[in-house]
């Protein structure tokens, strides 16, 4: 294959690497696997324009995006629209879609696994027609991201510490909101502190990711209204992989879900794959079965 690799130099892992040397290594690894790789290191502000350019280049068979979850999610949306194959290198803090694909967490090992990988199809999800690869969230998660974004950090570890500080800040006054939802079995109304909708149902790991990416189902998770202590308990349960047993959590699976927020306040946000967006009063969530062509990493590296 003829492959274009786009590296976001502002992503956590890549900030401290010799990217010229990494690109030379990447070209050699892909050449050994029988592919022709061109490597492009760009700033975060130029990533999407570069991905857009290669997504319509007839001389490129596949794109590889190296960055955090936000970069990968945007790259997936572009690849879905143009029909280009997408490969993923983990270079962010959580690398959730990469984990779900089975990409090794070490970026150099991931390079070899992707070079020897095979092309297949996985599901995408969408919120009001905006594709996402991992999760749409309202309430707790969106507040955590908003608080963390107001903090200063310069490394992957710094971002993780900022996330812990954001949890502590959010726990002082947990969000609480009313939602009406329709999943095909009737309309319901609830008071909640959080909603998470995932591209395929999540596993039970300490970092929950999709068990599979081809079930054609959304995972829908509700967190009931929580006190400060209950929110801290829920966060601990997520970190140790026992969140399903938390009494505040309920879940369902569906091919589609419509959310209505009758008392939505101005400047309230949702979060898609780690990036804040404005929360609309009505949100339609759908699964797009096998809509994205990806490189599945080889397992023998």
DSSP letters spanning 96-107: HHHHHHT--SSH
Q: What pLDDT is recorded for position 251?
A: 96
Q: What pLDDT is recorded for position 167?
A: 67
Q: What digits encode the pLDDT tens for the residues 190-199? A: 999 999 999 9
Q: What pLDDT is recorded for position 181?
A: 96
Q: What digits encode the pLDDT tens for the residues 263-293? A: 888 778 999 998 999 999 999 999 999 999 9
Q: What pLDDT is recorded for position 240?
A: 87
Local confidence band at 150 (pLDDT 50, 70, 90 cut-offs): low
Local confidence band at 155 (pLDDT 50, 70, 90 cut-offs): low
> Are the C-beta atoms of 129 and 64 separated by less than 8 Å?
no
* Residue written as token pair 């726990």: 171
Q: What pLDDT is recorded for position 157?
A: 56
Token duo for residue 220:
């829908």
Which is higher by pLDDT, 241 or 148? 241
Q: What digits encode the pLDDT tens for the residues 206-239? A: 889 999 999 999 999 999 999 989 988 988 898 8
* Residue written as token pair 């047993």: 245
Nearest to 277 by CA among 136, 144, 68: 136
Nearest to 9 by CA among 75, 73, 91: 91
Q: What pLDDT is recorded for position 162?
A: 56
Q: What pLDDT is recorded for position 117?
A: 98
DSSP letters spanning the chain: -EEEEEEETTSHHHHTS-HHHHHHHHHHHHHHTT-EEEEEEE-GGGHHHHHHHHHT-TT-SEEEEEE-HHHHHHHHHHHHHHT-EEEEEE-SSS-HHHHHHT--SSHHHHHHHHHT-EEEEEEEEEETTEEESSEEEEEHHHHHHHHHHTS---SHHHHHHHHHHHHHHHHHS---EEEEEESSS-EEEEEEEEEEEEES-B-SSSS--BS-S-S--EEEEEEE---HHHHHHHHHHHHHT-GGG-TTEEEEEESEEEEE-TTPPTT-EEEETTEEEEPPSEEEEEEEEEEEEEEEPPS--
Q: What pLDDT is recorded for position 256?
A: 96
Q: What pLDDT is recorded for position 166?
A: 62
Q: What digits encode the pLDDT tens for the residues 90-127? A: 998 889 999 999 999 999 999 999 999 999 999 999 99
C-alpha–C-alpha distance, residues 196 and 264, integer Å? 17
Q: Cα–chain-centroid distance for residue 175? A: 22
């Amino acid at each position: 294959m003829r492959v274009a690799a786009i590296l976001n130099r502002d992503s956590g892992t890549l900030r401290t690497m010799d990217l010229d040397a990494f690109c030379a290594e990447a070209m050699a690894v892909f050449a050994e696997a029988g592919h022709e790789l061109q490597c492009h290191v760009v700033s975060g502000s130029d990533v999407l324009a570069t991905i857009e350019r290669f997504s319509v280049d007839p001389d490129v068979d596949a794109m590889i995006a190296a960055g955090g979850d936000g970069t990968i999610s945007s790259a997936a949306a572009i690849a879905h629209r143009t029909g280009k194959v997408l490969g993923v290198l983990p270079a962010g803090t959580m690398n959730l879609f990469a984990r779900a694909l089975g990409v090794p967490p070490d970026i150099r090992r991931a390079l070899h696994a992707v070079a020897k990988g095979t092309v297949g199809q996985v599901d995408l999800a969408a919120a009001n027609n905006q594709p996402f690869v991992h999760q749409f969230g309202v309430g707790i998660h969106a507040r955590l991201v908003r608080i963390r974004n107001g903090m200063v950090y310069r490394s992957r570890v710094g971002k993780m510490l900022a996330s812990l500080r954001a949890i502590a800040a959010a726990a002082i006054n947990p969000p609480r909101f009313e939602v009406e939802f329709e999943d095909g079995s009737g309309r319901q109304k609830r008071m909640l502190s959080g909603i998470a909708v995932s591209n395929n149902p999540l596993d039970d790991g300490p970092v929950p990711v999709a068990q599979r990416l081809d079930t054609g189902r959304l995972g829908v998770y509700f967190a009931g209204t929580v006190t400060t202590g209950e929110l801290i308990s829920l966060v601990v349960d997520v970190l140790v992989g026992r969140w399903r047993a938390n009494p505040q959590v309920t879940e369902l699976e569906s091919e589609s879900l419509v959310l209505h927020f009758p008392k939505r306040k101005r400047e309230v946000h949702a979060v898609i794959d780690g990036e804040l967006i404005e929360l609309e009063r009505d949100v339609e969530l759908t699964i797009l079965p096998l809509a994205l062509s990806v490189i599945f990493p080889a397992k023998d590296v």
